[in-house]
């Protein structure tokens, strides 16, 4: 499945993660932010545009490449995939549905590491049920633009984004999800504001907040795709997005496994390293097997995406599996660390808190099961 | 348990009100108790309405009590009684009850009243009903019927005290009507016999501290006026505060308003703020996110003011006003009078 270029990329991503991410991960978690220089470094290496065509400043790589980078990043720093969200949630809407102008204006600077984007779908009353969107963006004939009003919550990069793709009802008469459209909204427009940065359980360096829109004027050219296409855009992006989150889960699980293996070799109790205790060794065996199964599932979906096959079912399976596995593996890895694992001095503590998110965002495990069973039973 | 000796009911006469004072100022609930006490006295017939006042330098306060309807004021004037102490007040009032044998004693359900009344009830072996919201005289027995909410307000219990005297209640402030003031009205002052020694009082008051900050007690408030992001900026809460003062309510807020730094977190209503159940909840410029609704949707009456007719708050509101809160609230305040 992998070509030479994939192996080279893995080597590069691994080195980057070891050299640039691992040393600062604990600090970034405490600070609740990545240092500015890191964003630029990530862009310089081309990680912000792995799947983005060269025409927009990217590398024109495939989804396997993206999965590889995300896996390697997250092995060392669970939150780091947010640094390259331009490949998935933040950037893909432009790539798939944007006009040439929109791509040049919004996608390119993101890929070049000059700007940060966000994807704003979730609302206080519309989480799993994203069709229940309350935000409105209605055409105002007099002013000759759309007027955006509402509040989005849990928006990754919300506190620092320069612009966001916002999903809003543009037609109050149209039934259900059909009245939703996608709009590109710039952060310095009048009426745009942000809530306070959420204090999360984990992934602190990946910042999250509300985005608030109060009579924001959105020009016609900032409609993304066609009117009423919003829900389709959101769902289309999420398929690919789920592969990224699944890779994140895979990376976290693999990273936790690495930490557990290493620690179990060093820690001595009852006169020998704890890895010589069969219970510990068997735990490691279980963990490794789960990680490998997840890995095959994730890369298989990435491969299918690259072959332009429909992946809704497998993407849901990969996201579900990875979300659950990273939690199980993190749990066991922390257990192997004993009391030390519960201390913030050890990376496993941070990784365990981070793992908890993977089974929740970009569709909870339950929603993935809904998709999977829906496909099985249709 | 109180010993079950028979009490000569006929030996007890008159309705007493504990005239709680703090720093020489009579607590407002006392005037409400005098108002109610007057009704009770006339329903029983041929009994006097009395107040019992403890403290230092009592003459001004005594005058006020007469003007609010007391026929008799029992006084205990001593430096030891200047500030409230459980021991001092319990001893003096219990002694006075033994000496003068009132039929009914009412206390305001303030922090002091709630501390004092149960101690006296034990000392004089009688019944006490706490936090009453309604008091009546049983026309047949002439005994008092004491009604109070129980189980968080889900049950109203009416309680009698048939065989012991005095019959005692603490009464929730704000539910009874104040006695009318009759300028120049006077009555009889009867000093109680004081045997109180400094050694009887185990509490030593070192300092009485008044908090400068407005205490927000959202949970106790009967009316809450809440502001949300729709206020637009922090100054919007000035309007909300005016509105709240006008209607006798407390200021609440949504998390969006708190996060914006417009108001302190102690005002936040909702899942991660305070859960409230006032009689009236007025939501101004609040969209009605589920995290907010979770904290207030069991309010008796919900009034929503929001310019967006689609706002989810209207789904739980009993009364909804679609409009700009800056226009609607001033009009409401004017209509309130
Ligand atoms: C840190 C973080 C970052 C995020 N970043 C973004 C972002 O950048 N952009 C964005 O738009 N959103 C983002 N989200 C939102 C995320 O996608 C939602 O939290 C997620 O979709 C779940 O929605 P909810 O939290 O409202 O939970 P709910 O939908 O309220 O779900 C609550 C529970 O009910 C279950 N449930 C709901 N419906 C069903 C059903 N039909 N069948 C079975 N079970 C069900 C769920 O599985 C879950 O267990 C982020 C969230 C977090 C925590
Ligand atoms: C972890 C977490 C915990 C939370 N806990 C809570 C909580 O405890 N309590 C809470 O409240 N929220 C909580 N929330 C936030 C909740 O999800 C909503 O974001 C919040 O309640 C929205 O506040 P709002 O209604 O004031 O603002 P918005 O949703 O922005 O609504 C403002 C409203 O004002 C109206 N408006 C605007 N201008 C005017 C005007 N001039 N006149 C009249 N109306 C106007 C608009 O139409 C709109 O409906 C929590 C969120 C998170 C993530």
B53-111 residue pLDDT tens:
999 999 999 999 999 999 999 999 999 999 999 999 999 999 999 999 999 999 999 99
The C-alpha atoms of residue A78 and residue A249 are separated, in whole angstroms, by 8
Indicate the pTM of the whole model.
0.76
The C-alpha atoms of residue B244 and residue B26 are separated, in whole angstroms, by 25
The C-alpha atoms of residue A159 and residue A165 are separated, in whole angstroms, by 15
pLDDT at B213 over 70: no
Residues of chain B positioned with their CB less than 8 A from the CB of A210: 256, 259
Q: Which of A123, A227, A362, A366 is catalytic?
A: A362
The C-alpha atoms of residue B92 and residue B88 are separated, in whole angstroms, by 6
Contact B268, B254 (CB under 8 A): yes
What is the CA(A357)–ligand 1 centre distance, in A? 10
The C-alpha atoms of residue B258 and residue B234 are separated, in whole angstroms, by 10
pLDDT of residue B2: 47
The C-alpha atoms of residue A339 and residue B74 are separated, in whole angstroms, by 68
Token output for B92: 């003096």
Q: How does DSSP assign A128-193, residue by residue?
A: S-GGG---EEEEETTTTEEEEEEEEEEEETTTT-SEEEEEEES-SSS-GGGGEEEEEEETTSTTEE
Confidence of residue B7 (pLDDT cuts 50, 70, 90): confident
User: How much is the mean pLDDT over chain B?
Assistant: 92
The C-alpha atoms of residue A270 and residue A93 are separated, in whole angstroms, by 56
B182-209 residue pLDDT tens:
999 999 999 999 999 999 999 999 998 8
Which residues in chain B (217-246) have CB-CB distances under 8 A to chain A?
Answer: 229, 232
pLDDT of residue B140: 93
B310 touches chain A (CB under 8 A): yes
Question: By percentage, how much of chain A surpasses pLDDT 90?
Answer: 96
**From the CB of residue A173, how many other CB atoms can be counted at a distance below 10 Å?**
7
E strands of B126-216, at which residues?
128-132, 134-137, 144-150, 155-159, 167-171, 188-191
**Is B265 marked as binding a ligand?**
no
Contact A147, A216 (CB under 8 A): yes
Residue B207, classed as helix, strand or coil, is: coil
The C-alpha atoms of residue A69 and residue A13 are separated, in whole angstroms, by 6
Determine whether the shortest distance from the Cβ of B273 to ligand 2 is under 6 A. yes
B307-321 residue pLDDT tens:
999 999 999 999 999
User: Which of A185, A280, A166 lies closest to A230, judged by CA?
Assistant: A166
Token output for A167: 């999903």
User: Which of A53, A45, A57, A54 lies closest to A13, judged by CA?
Assistant: A45
Q: What is the interface pTM, i.e. ipTM, of the complex?
A: 0.80
**From the CB of residue A8, how many other CB atoms can be counted at a distance below 10 Å?**
10
Confidence of residue B214 (pLDDT cuts 50, 70, 90): low
Least confident of A88-97, A329-338, B115-124, B143-152: B143-152
Burial class (CB in 10 A: 0-12, 13-18, 19+), A228: middle
Strand B25-26 and strand A223-224: the pairing is: unpaired
The C-alpha atoms of residue B73 and residue B63 are separated, in whole angstroms, by 9
Token output for B37: 């006490």
Burial class (CB in 10 A: 0-12, 13-18, 19+), B60: exposed
pLDDT at A260 over 70: yes
**Is B110 marked as binding a ligand?**
no
């Amino acid at each position: 499945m992998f070509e030479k270029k994939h192996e080279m990329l893995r080597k590069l991503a691994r080195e980057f993660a070891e050299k640039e991410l691992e040393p600062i991960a604990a600090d970034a978690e405490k600070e609740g932010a990545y240092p500015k220089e890191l964003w630029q470094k990530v862009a310089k290496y081309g990680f912000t545009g792995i799947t983005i065509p060269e025409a927009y400043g990217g590398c024109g790589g495939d989804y396997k490449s993206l999965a590889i980078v995300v896996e390697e990043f997250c092995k060392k720093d669970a939150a780091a995939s947010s640094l390259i969200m331009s490949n998935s949630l933040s950037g893909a809407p432009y790539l798939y549905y944007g006009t040439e102008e929109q791509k040049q204006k919004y996608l390119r600077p993101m890929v070049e590491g000059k700007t940060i984007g966000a994807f704003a779908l979730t609302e206080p009353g519309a989480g799993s049920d994203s069709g229940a969107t309350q935000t409105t963006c209605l055409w105002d004939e007099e002013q000759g633009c759309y007027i955006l009003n509402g509040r989005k919550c849990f928006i990754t990069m919300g506190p620092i984004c320069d612009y966001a793709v916002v999903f809003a009802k543009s037609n109050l008469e149209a039934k259900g999800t059909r009245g939703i459209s996608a709009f590109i909204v710039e952060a310095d427009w009048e009426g745009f504001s942000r809530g306070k940065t959420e204090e999360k359980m984990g992934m602190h360096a990946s910042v999250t907040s509300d985005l608030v829109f109060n009579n924001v004027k959105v020009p016609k050219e900032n409609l993304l795709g066609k009117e009423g296409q919003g829900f389709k855009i959101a769902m289309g992006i999420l398929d690919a997005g789920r592969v990224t989150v699944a890779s994140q889960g895979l990376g976290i699980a693999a990273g936790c496994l690495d930490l557990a293996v290493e620690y179990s070799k060093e820690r001595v109790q009852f006169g020998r390293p704890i890895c010589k205790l069969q219970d510990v060794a068997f735990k490691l065996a279980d963990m490794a097997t789960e990680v490998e199964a997840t890995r095959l599932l994730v890369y298989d979906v990435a491969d299918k995406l690259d072959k332009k096959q429909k992946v809704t079912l497998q993407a849901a399976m990969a996201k579900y599996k990875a979300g659950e596995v990273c939690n199980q593996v993190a749990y066991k890895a922390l257990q192997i660390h004993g009391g030390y694992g519960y201390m913030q001095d050890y990376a496993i503590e941070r990784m365990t808190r981070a793992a908890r998110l993977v089974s929740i965002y970009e569709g909870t495990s339950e929603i993935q099961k809904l998709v999977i069973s829906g496909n099985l039973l249709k | 348990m109180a010993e079950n000796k028979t009490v000569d009911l006929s030996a007890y006469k008159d309705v007493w009100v504990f005239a709680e004072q703090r720093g020489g100022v009579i607590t407002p609930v006392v005037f409400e108790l005098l108002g109610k006490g007057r009704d009770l006295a006339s329903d029983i017939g041929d009994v006097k309405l009395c107040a019992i006042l403890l403290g230092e330098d009592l003459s001004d306060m005594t005058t006020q009590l007469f003007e609010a309807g007391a026929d008799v004021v029992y006084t205990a004037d001593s430096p030891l009684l200047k500030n409230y102490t459980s021991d001092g007040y319990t001893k003096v009032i219990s002694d006075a009850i033994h000496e003068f044998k009132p039929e009914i004693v009412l206390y305001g359900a303030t922090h002091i009243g709630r501390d004092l009344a149960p101690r006296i009830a034990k000392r004089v072996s009688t019944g006490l009903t706490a936090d009453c919201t309604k008091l009546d005289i049983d026309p047949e027995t002439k005994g008092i019927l004491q009604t109070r909410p129980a189980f968080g307000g889900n049950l109203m219990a009416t309680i009698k005290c048939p065989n012991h005297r005095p019959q005692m209640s603490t009464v929730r402030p704000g539910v009874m009507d104040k006695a009318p003031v009759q300028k120049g009205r006077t009555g009889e002052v009867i000093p109680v016999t004081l045997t109180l020694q400094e050694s009887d009082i185990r509490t030593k008051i070192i300092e009485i501290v008044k908090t400068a900050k407005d205490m927000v007690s959202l949970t106790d408030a009967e009316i809450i006026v809440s502001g949300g992001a729709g206020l637009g900026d922090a100054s919007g809460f000035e309007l909300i505060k005016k509105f709240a003062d006008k209607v006798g309510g407390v200021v609440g807020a949504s998390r969006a308003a708190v996060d914006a730094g417009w108001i302190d977190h102690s005002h936040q209503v909702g899942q991660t703020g305070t859960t409230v159940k006032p009689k009236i909840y007025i939501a101004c410029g609040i969209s009605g996110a589920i995290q907010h609704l979770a904290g207030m949707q069991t309010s008796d009456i919900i009034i929503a003011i929001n310019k967006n007719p689609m706002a989810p708050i209207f789904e739980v509101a009993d009364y909804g006003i679609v409009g700009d809160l800056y226009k609607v609230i001033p009009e409401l305040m004017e209509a309130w009078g």
